């Protein structure tokens, strides 16, 4: 692919939302001649280092009114950048903010939005994107029609992020001051709701131990927690576990929960319903422990252990403890 491609980075001050890197990774698969990250922020310190070797250019759109998210400011600011760069594609993280402003931005250009995409493919008909349907039961291949620019939002956690992707050349940084109407904003977006007791972001975890209904009861979670501690992993769950309130909803993996891409994913007592598989498709190595040899989870597992998890997991814990103490 040739031409210019924009990735809209989601920033809160100096902090970059991890979903930004999924958008960057997908954009890199399009092989653009010019890959530009656009960051809207009132504080740009450190962003140059973060985006070096990932994109060709970084455009910093700075104004005090961008400190707090508002689609009324984001859309005109991004429109000014898009008009200047004339990109073929605009890639946006499918986050709380992205879901709010992306369709509004696309509507300004009379374009549709290819939303919640997980991968890009090239076939005889050109570029297409994959996106889930019916809570992950099906995958659709969708295409943009009409003239550029085309708008795509990327599902968080769908890509394996390696921290780089582009070789050679210094990062070019452009600073932009947007122009806004004098009228005060009529709306203001609220920040994403987070449980006060949950500070972990599973989309950033390098290792995850996930439990399913097969663990039997909430009392058996301690066994899984111990295994997670020994592996340096975070604890997560399939939907039935969260429905039973054995773990909070913030730790649910699947089409109705989080999509993650850790280096290691250990599934304990998880049968492998398609909704759950949709949430962990990007994992590097998948280890499955289940007593049912025909469980669907084994179709995607790199390492499968058929056995009683109440015997297998304690044995793993003992082996890891012995190795740590030895």
The pLDDT of residue 134? 72
User: Do 124 and 14 belong together in one domain?
Assistant: yes
Identify the domain boundary among 128, 161, 176.
176
Task: Evaluate whether residue 194 is within a structural domain.
Answer: no
Residue 187 placed within a domain: no
**155 and 8 fall within a common domain:** yes
Q: Do 120 and 207 belong to one domain?
A: no
For residue 37, being part of any structural domain is answered with yes
Same domain flag for 161 and 79: yes
In this structure, the answer to whether residues 150 and 213 fall within a common structural domain is no
SS3 sequence of the chain: CCCEEEEEECEECCEECCHHHHHHHHHHCCCCCEEEEEEECCCCCCHHHHHCCCCCEEEEECCHHHCCCCHHHHHHHHHHHHHHHCCCEEEEECCHHHHHHHHHHHHHCCCCEEEEECEEEEECCEEEEEEEECCCCEEEEECCCCCCCEEEEECCCCCCCCCCCCCCCCCEEEEECCCCCCCCCCCCCCCCCCCCCCCCCHHHCCEEEEECHHHCCHHHHHHHHHHHHHHCCEEEECHHHHHCCCCCHHHEECCCCECCCCCEEEEECCCCCHHHHCCCCCCCEEEEEECCCCCCHHHHCCEEEECCHHHHHHHHHHHHHHHHHC
Q: For residue 36, tell me if it sits in a domain.
A: yes
Q: Are residues 9 and 104 in the same domain?
A: yes
**23 plus 168 within the same structural domain:** yes
Residues 160, 233 within the same domain? no
Within a domain: 68: yes
- Tell me if 191 is assigned to some domain: no
**pLDDT at residue number 188:** 61
Domain boundary among 176, 192, 211: 176
CATH code where residue 158 lies: 3.40.50.620
- The residue range of the domain holding 165 is 4-176
Residue 35 in any domain: the answer is yes
User: What is the pLDDT, as a whole number, of residue 195?
Assistant: 42
Q: Are residues 53 and 147 both part of a single domain?
A: yes
pLDDT of amino acid 199 = 53
Quick one: 134 and 23 in the same domain? yes
Based on the domain organization, do 227 and 130 belong to the same domain?
no
Q: How many separate domains does the chain show? A: 2
**So what's the pLDDT on residue 196?**
39
pLDDT at 193: 44
Residue 130 belongs to a domain:
yes
Same domain, 222 and 149: no
Which of 176, 194, 229 is a domain's end point?
Answer: 176
- pLDDT value at residue 180: 86
pLDDT tens series, the chain, 326 aa = 458 999 999 987 678 888 898 899 999 989 899 999 999 976 666 788 889 888 999 999 988 888 888 899 999 999 999 999 999 999 999 988 899 999 999 999 999 999 989 889 988 888 999 988 876 667 889 999 999 999 999 987 777 555 556 655 688 999 999 998 766 666 665 554 444 344 578 888 999 999 999 999 999 999 999 999 999 999 999 988 988 889 988 899 987 788 888 999 999 999 998 889 888 878 999 999 999 999 999 999 999 999 999 999 999 999 999 988 86
């Amino acid at each position: 692919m040739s031409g210019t491609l924009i990735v809209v980075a989601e920033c809160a001050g100096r902090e970059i939302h991890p979903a930004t890197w999924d958008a960057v990774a997908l954009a890199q698969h399009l092989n653009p001649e010019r890959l530009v990250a656009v960051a809207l922020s009132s504080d740009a310190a450190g962003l140059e280092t973060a985006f070096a070797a990932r994109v060709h250019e970084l455009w910093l759109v700075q104004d005090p009114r961008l400190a707090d998210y508002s689609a009324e400011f984001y859309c005109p600011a991004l429109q000014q950048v898009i008009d200047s760069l004339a990109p073929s594609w605009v890639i946006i993280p499918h986050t709380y903010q992205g879901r709010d402003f992306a369709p509004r931005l696309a509507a300004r250009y009379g374009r549709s939005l290819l939303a919640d995409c997980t991968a890009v493919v090239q076939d005889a008909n050109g570029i297409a994107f994959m996106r889930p349907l019916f809570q992950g039961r099906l995958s659709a291949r969708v295409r943009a029609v009409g003239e550029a620019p085309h708008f795509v939002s990327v599902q968080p956690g769908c890509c394996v992020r390696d921290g780089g992707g582009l070789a050679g050349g210094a990062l070019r940084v452009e600073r932009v001051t947007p122009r806004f109407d004098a009228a005060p904003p009529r709306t203001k977006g609220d920040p994403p709701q987070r449980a006060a007791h949950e500070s972990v972001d599973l989309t950033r975890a390098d290792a995850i131990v996930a439990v399913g209904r097969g663990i039997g009861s909430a009392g058996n979670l301690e066994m899984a927690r111990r295994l997670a501690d020994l592996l340096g992993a975070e604890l997560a769950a399939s939907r039935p576990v969260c429905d039973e309130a054995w773990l909070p909803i913030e730790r649910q993996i699947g089409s109705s929960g989080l999509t993650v891409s850790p280096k290691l994913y250990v599934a304990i007592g998880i049968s492998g319903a398609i909704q759950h598989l949709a949430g962990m498709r990007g994992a590097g190595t998948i280890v499955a422990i289940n007593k049912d040899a025909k469980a669907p989870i084994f179709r995607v597992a790199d390492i499968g252990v058929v056995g009683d998890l109440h015997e297998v997991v304690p044995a793993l814990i003992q082996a890891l403890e012995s190795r740590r103490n030895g």
